[in-house]
Chain A
Amino acid sequence: MDKQKLYIETLGIVFLIINIGLIIVKELKLEVYMSFYAVGYLFITGFYAPKKRYFDVVGAGLLIIFCYNSLMLIINSMNI
């Protein structure tokens, strides 16, 4: 099968699993969803290493969101 097609399909399945999992545990924080998406996205993209037309803005955006969420979590836990 076409590698690019397989990459998109795998990413879709991973996001579906993340969504179902977090909805089942009744997660209501958007940052938790975004962090899971970031980890899933970066893992799948690293595994398939697909060709991209331009700079991977989605990956960069998700990485920044993930770093920001992690930083906020650390700051909050230190305050406690």
Chain B
Amino acid sequence: MDRYTIIGFVVTILGIVYSFFSFYIISSIPSTAVGISIIILGINTILIPGSSISKNYVYSIFMESYSNIEALLLQFDMKERCVYLPPKDKKVFAFVPLNIDLDPSKERKVRESPIRMVTHYQGMSGLMVFLPLPYDILSELPEGMKAEKTLNIILVDQLTASGSVKAVEFLNKIIVRISGFQETTELPSVQSVFGSIPTSIAGSALSFVYNKPIILLEEKLEGNDIIDIFEVSTKHG
């Protein structure tokens, strides 16, 4: 039974009880009418079909797509943290440096580097990895939406990757707590380059919404929660 059906049944039963009470006990027509409107809303909610594809299945497809990225990272023996680049043609790419001296002053070069699997641009070498995200949902989000709201829509509502997400934005840092995340397949290279899969989805979603490079500074595991510290890059050097 999907969420709409459960909510619909609860609302309908509440409406029936309320209408019955209003009509027979307090004999109030306006109150009975309110109860009837609640019943109409409840039945209507039951009639709304849920998604034909389970959200868990969608998330498992996401996780499997990271297996391909793992194979690519293993091929090049990549271990360095990536930079989540702002979207190009509404697609988020991560720049994974091949030479380990990537520092923030080179960020502009990174942004301008061509999208190829292995890219060499102005003395820098790296991999450009296309990251899977629900792009159609992200494109519909209003500009300037808060990080917490964005991540709840993507990680909780759309992908059911976690139970809840809290985010605090402070200066150019975003601290994210992903609670009750789903266990994912162990992918060591993906883990060291992007962080865990929920973290990677969070980082790429943030770079899409902020339209700025996002760097994962730290990822900590606290019980069943992941705590991430992201930096929103504002340098133009």
**0/1 interface trace, chain B 43-61, chain A, CB 8 Å (1 if under):** 1111111000000000000
**On chain B, which size bracket covers the interface?**
10 to 19
CB-CB under 8 A for A22 and B30, given A33-B36, A34-B36: yes
Tell me the smallest distance from the CB of A69 to a CB of chain B, in Å.
13
Q: Is B10 an interface residue (CB 8 A)?
A: no
Specify which of B4, B30, B34, B40 is in contact with A58 (CB 8 Å cutoff): B40
Residues of B within 8 Å of A30, CB to CB, are 29, 32-33, 36
CB-CB under 8 A for A58 and B29, given A11-B41, A15-B41, A37-B40: no
Q: In the bound complex, how far is the Cα of B33 from the Cα of A18, in angstroms?
A: 10
Q: Is B37 an interface residue (CB 8 A)?
A: yes
Q: In the bound complex, how far is the Cα of B40 from the Cα of A12, in angstroms?
A: 10
Specify which of A1, A8, A19, A28 is in contact with B48 (CB 8 Å cutoff): A8
Write the chain B residue with the least CB distance to A52.
B47
CB-CB under 8 A for A4 and B40, given A29-B29, A30-B32: no
Tell me the smallest distance from the CB of B168 to a CB of chain A, in Å.
25
- For chain B, residues 129 to 149, give those with C-beta under 8 angstroms from any C-beta of chain A: 140
CB-CB under 8 A for A8 and B30, given A18-B37, A52-B49: no
Specify which of A4, A28, A53 is in contact with B29 (CB 8 Å cutoff): A28
Write the chain B residue with the least CB distance to A41.
B40
Write the chain B residue with the least CB distance to A44.
B44
Chief secondary structure at chain B's binding surface? helix
Residues of B within 8 Å of A18, CB to CB, are 37
Residues of B within 8 Å of A11, CB to CB, are 40-41, 44
A/B pair count, beta carbons within 8 Å: 63
Please determine whether A57 and B30 come into contact, CB atoms closer than 8 angstroms: no
Q: Is A54 an interface residue (CB 8 A)?
A: yes
Tell me the smallest distance from the CB of B103 to a CB of chain A, in Å.
41
Please determine whether B45 and A27 come into contact, CB atoms closer than 8 angstroms: no
Please determine whether A19 and B44 come into contact, CB atoms closer than 8 angstroms: no
Please determine whether B47 and A54 come into contact, CB atoms closer than 8 angstroms: yes
Residues of B within 8 Å of A27, CB to CB, are 30
Please determine whether B40 and A33 come into contact, CB atoms closer than 8 angstroms: no
Please determine whether A23 and B30 come into contact, CB atoms closer than 8 angstroms: yes
Among all A-B residue pairs, the 5 with the closest Cβ atoms: A33-B33, A15-B37, A53-B49, A52-B47, A23-B30
Residues of B that sit less than 8 Å from A by CB: 4, 29-30, 32-34, 36-37, 40-41, 43-49, 140
Of the A-B pairs whose beta carbons lie under 8 Å apart in the complex, a sample of 5, sorted by A's number, is A11-B40, A15-B41, A28-B30, A51-B49, A57-B43
Residues of A that sit less than 8 Å from B by CB: 1, 4, 7-8, 11-12, 15, 18-19, 22-23, 27-30, 33-34, 37, 41, 50-54, 56-58, 62
A27-B30, A57-B47 provided; 8 other pairs, C-beta below 8 A?
A: A4-B4, A7-B48, A11-B44, A30-B36, A33-B37, A37-B36, A52-B47, A56-B47
